[in-house]
Amino acid sequence: MAVPLRIALAGLGTVGGGVIRLLESNADLIARRAGRPVEVVAVSARDRNKDRGFDIGRFAWEDDMSALAARGDVDVVVELVGGSDGPALALGRNALAAGKGLVTANKAMIAHHGMELAQAAEASGAALKFEAAVAGGIPVVKGLREGAAANEIERIYGILNGTCNYILSTMEETGRDFGDVLKDAQELGYAEADPTFDVEGIDAAHKLSILAAIAFGAKIDFASVETEGISRLRAADIEQADALGFVIRLIGIADTETGPSGEETLFQRVCPYLVSRDHPLATVAGATNAVVAEGNYSGRLLFEGAGAGDGPTASAVVADLVDIARGITGAPLGVPADMLQPMPKADAGHRVARDYLRFVVADRPGVLAEITAAMRDAGVSIESLIQKGRPEEGGEVTVSIVTHDGPEANVDRALELLEGSDSLTEAPLVLQLLEN
């Protein structure tokens, strides 16, 4: 039998347990496909004695996670601890410095430190892989980096956060408000006790910044992702969208454009979009993720599957291990890290889009005239407007507007004109339309 690929596993939560289970239950087929067995030899986690429902006694144990990287009997370190810095990053750095492969599901760490880690991997000739960091079990990092490698990618976008998608599709089905559905999602384990990273779009932005780097040959630039979450959405927005033929999804989207001085700039945004009902992303419900890559030769490629969960995430982690066992390493981001371009953030103001604007206003005369005058003065052309009273909410009225195609800057200008108006009882919500 060929020499096994020896794994050290840091983090023994649900995903870590999934990886151990997978490597055992599918051991024979993995050995056939990898050309050699893939075996866990050492593990580490915060608490050695926690009851995990599986036996870790057969693995070597390290109290100090970072010591996994120093073990002579380990080829690849699998990091499933989480957190952009701290022990995860220390372990990752140590592993690569020691020339060991690093496989991680840690999107925050790659979004923040992926450039440094990729350079370290390339310097030491070690593999760095993170399929599980983006869209769970969907092999979209591989699909983009290798499957679409012949293409100039024109745009990449998708549903990258299962928690948000679960909340939005549940709001859609039940007509309930965000807060309600979130509470249920927390009870069901679909959302964390502190849901900020998910519902404010930060998790999706981590993933988007990784995909954008691969797609466009740009340095990972998480800080430049414009991010807006779903916590301000109301049942009324979903209802309005529905009436217009749309569903609302949290979409991460990225493309490039030529900036004012001729330089290539990078546009990255995570935001709820009104997705037209005939678009393939509109039928993506529950905790499913889906990513669309538009290549200049391939046309539109869609990758869809489970965005989270121990099984799917373990599937992605082990796919990376099989690649490493087969000797498939290569540049983690598709081209050597030093060849990735530093791309300035694109100015979104001149981008042309149809928008959905929602105002919550006091129920009194003249409010509509004030809003429409601001639109007119800013050069925003209105396609449709619906005003709806919500008597149960103390005289509050929602005004929903869909604009014609126009520059984003005009909409921004209209909102500026309305800033401070005491007709508006909360800040306006602006969503864009994603059409098929």
Q: Which residues bind its own copies (CB under 8 A)?
A: 18, 22, 25-26, 29-30, 32-35, 131, 137-139, 142-143, 146-152, 217, 278, 280, 283, 290, 295-306, 309, 311-312, 314-319, 321-323, 326, 328, 330-331, 334-335, 339
If the CB atoms of residues 18 and 114 are measured against its own copies, the closer one turns out to be: 18
If the CB atoms of residues 233 and 434 are measured against its own copies, the closer one turns out to be: 434
If the CB atoms of residues 130 and 359 are measured against its own copies, the closer one turns out to be: 130
Task: Single out the catalytic residue among 207, 219, 345, 388.
Answer: 207
Least distance (Å) between residue 140 CB and its own copies: 8
If the CB atoms of residues 2 and 352 are measured against its own copies, the closer one turns out to be: 2
Least distance (Å) between residue 331 CB and its own copies: 8
Catalytic residue list contains 100 = no
Name 40's bridge partners. Answer: 7
Is 277 in contact with 145 (CB distance < 8 Å)? Answer: no
Amino acid at 13: G
Picking from 199, 234, 243, 248, the residue whose alpha carbon sits closest to that of residue 358 is 234
Least distance (Å) between residue 381 CB and its own copies: 32
If the CB atoms of residues 295 and 406 are measured against its own copies, the closer one turns out to be: 295
Least distance (Å) between residue 73 CB and its own copies: 23
Least distance (Å) between residue 318 CB and its own copies: 3
Structure tokens at 121: 């991997």
Is 136 in contact with 308 (CB distance < 8 Å)? Answer: yes
Least distance (Å) between residue 354 CB and its own copies: 22
The DSSP bridge pattern shows strands 128-129 and 101-104 to be parallel
Least distance (Å) between residue 294 CB and its own copies: 10
Least distance (Å) between residue 42 CB and its own copies: 20
If the CB atoms of residues 28 and 194 are measured against its own copies, the closer one turns out to be: 28
- Residue 145 CA to residue 329 CA, distance in Å, equals 12
If the CB atoms of residues 340 and 378 are measured against its own copies, the closer one turns out to be: 340
If the CB atoms of residues 34 and 238 are measured against its own copies, the closer one turns out to be: 34
Active site residues: 207
